Amino acid sequence: MALRAASKNPSATLRLLAVPLYCRRRHALPQGRYAILLAALSLPLHAAPAADMDPSAAAQLYGQHCQSCHGADRLGGMGPALLPESLERLKPAEISNTIRQGRSATQMAGFADRLSDEQIRQLTAYVQSSPTTPPRWSDVDMRASHRQPVALSSLLAKPQYTANPLNLFVVVEAGDHHVTVLDGDRFQPITRFASHYAVHGGPKFSPDGRFVYFSSRDGWVTQYDLYSLQVVADIRVGLNTRNIAVSDDGNWILAGNTLPQTLVLLDAHGLAPVKTIAVRDAAGRPSRVSAVYEAAPRHSFVVALKDVPELWEISYDRHAAPVYPGLVHDYQMGEALAQPGFLSPRVTPLSMVLDDFYFDPSYQHVLGASRSGQAQVISLDSRSKVADLPLDGMPHLGSGISFERDGHRIMATPNLKGGQLSFVDMDSWQLIKQVQLPGPGFFLRSHENTPYAWADSMMSAHKDTLSIIDKRSLSVVRQLVLRPGKTTAHVEFTRDGRYALVSVMENPGELIVVDAQTLREVAALPMAKPIGKYNVFNKVNRSEGTSH
């Protein structure tokens, strides 16, 4: 969906309105429900406030309901920055309706019971107006933010503890902005440290598992040494960052921003900035980044764009073939001017914007979905669509898993709107089966050594229910309620798959350890809203049952 088309198509722009984000006190404060209002944000236009807007009253409403997640300066924090640039594509009525009714595929409930129509109108006008001081984040700002308190050359060669470094869990606690490093054998914390505000729930690891890299919603990237248990580098790459990816050789990190609209390449050994890539199409139309992932067999990063219907592949192989802009008949004939293959985007034009995607095991295909309910299979080699996926609603492919069944590789994905699991044959791209869950959920997880997959229903009235699915019969065999009434989601397995660690996403919350075979609880640790926990071995070895 091109930007110009979006501005003329209200139904299309609605799917850009929100992305799942987490806020600190989901049930305690109204701002928790405001957290995902409008991720369609970047540098501001010269938008004037509505003539009848009371700036003082609107600012007070913002401070009460929005500031905790979106920042006092509207530059973002737990939630995205709230600035007017992308809001030009939305009618005021559409923004007001989102504030009033929320979004079904996010954690944002409506504000109709808390705000009057006039207050909603004031807030709508406020977020459409330009801040007094236009936000900027330049390469100069980024370099000035870079710090490296510990020289990598001074780090010791071995861990400073007795736990197995490959069976550690890194637990992101959103309730008080901390990270816990957990011994995955004894289920005991090794250390706990303060993180940046609004750390994204998906840290990435170096190939050897020694370093973990965090990104925060407000643009910070942090390198943490899991051997010496200390931060070794830090840099702010933007004002609102979607996520990061680490190259399979451990040398590069790519950060995707929504504000400013850039990709930032960092040296993974200390986070020094290497290159900034403006995200825009051939016509100069800018876009926020929707997602960045690493395709190890291809030695490349793959980037989905949120405002332009394109998929980018950026090779970090210094011997990569040249990139020829556009779809040329034969690159050997020199039909277009070549760009170096190393670190130059190779563009795949699409028929829709991708909000979410998943790789097949060969990394030759991307399974992509949009908020409109469309899903496609795209070949990274031919740079074209090869199949439509029969997935209605809003499939969350980024949380998909795959496994072998009867000689076929099966992909399973939850649905953020319909509350069902869909199972797709990855040879024929045909839908095999759909299984209804108690309600919409966000995560699906499994492990090679367990016959079960675990799915939550955290975005429904059954937020406390985990569904256990038999990967052979593709049916729900058990529904597990560990803490009645509490939001329970995000399962991660130990290295051997023997235990499943489950988050109670409350503040205070818990991390519950469950025997993956008997489904009995064996331990519980108090945590401050653990939004995710990540096993080092499973991540660096790309376990089929977890995200990458």
Rounded to a whole number, what is the distance in angstroms from the first to the last CA of the chain?
Answer: 27
- Tens of pLDDT, residue by residue over 138-166, are 999 999 999 999 999 999 999 999 999 99
DSSP output for 278-333: E-B-TT--B--EEEEEEEGGGTEEEEEESSSSEEEEEE--TTPPPB-SS--S-GGG
Rg (CA), the chain: 22
Confidence of residue 239 (pLDDT cuts 50, 70, 90): confident
The predicted pLDDT at position 225 comes to 99
* Ranges assigned E (strand) in 362-436: 365-369, 375-379, 384-388, 401-405, 408-414, 420-425, 430-436
Specify the DSSP class assigned to residue 418: T
What is the model's pTM? 0.80
- Residue 417: CB partners within 8 Å, gap ≥ 6? 104, 105, 373, 393, 394, 440
3-state secondary structure of 236: strand
Cα gap 252→345, rounded to integer Å:
15
Tens of pLDDT, residue by residue over 111-123, are 889 999 999 899 9
Q: What are the residue ranges of CATH 1.10.760.10 in the chain? A: 3-128
Q: What percent of the chain has pLDDT over 70?
A: 84
Q: Classify domain 437-548 at the CATH class level.
A: mainly beta
**At 453, which amino acid appears?**
A
Q: 508: cis peptide before it, omega within 30°?
A: yes
Instruction: Please state the rounded mean pLDDT for residues 530-536.
Output: 97
Structure tokens at 133: 């001081």
Which residues, in sequence order, are bridge partners of residue 189?
182
Tens-digit pLDDT profile for residues 368-406: 998 777 899 999 999 999 999 988 888 888 899 999 999
Give me the chain's average pLDDT, please: 86
Residue 372 CB: number of other CB atoms within 10 A? 15
pLDDT in tens, 46-86: 445 555 788 889 889 988 887 877 778 776 666 556 766 54
Cα 114 from Cα 491, distance rounded (Å)? 33
- Amino acid identity, residue 380? L
Which amino acid would we find at residue 249?
A: D
Residues in the chain: 548
pLDDT band per the 50, 70, 90 thresholds, residue 44: very low
Query: Would you identify the CATH topology of the domain 3-128?
Result: Cytochrome Bc1 Complex; Chain D, domain 2 (1.10.760)
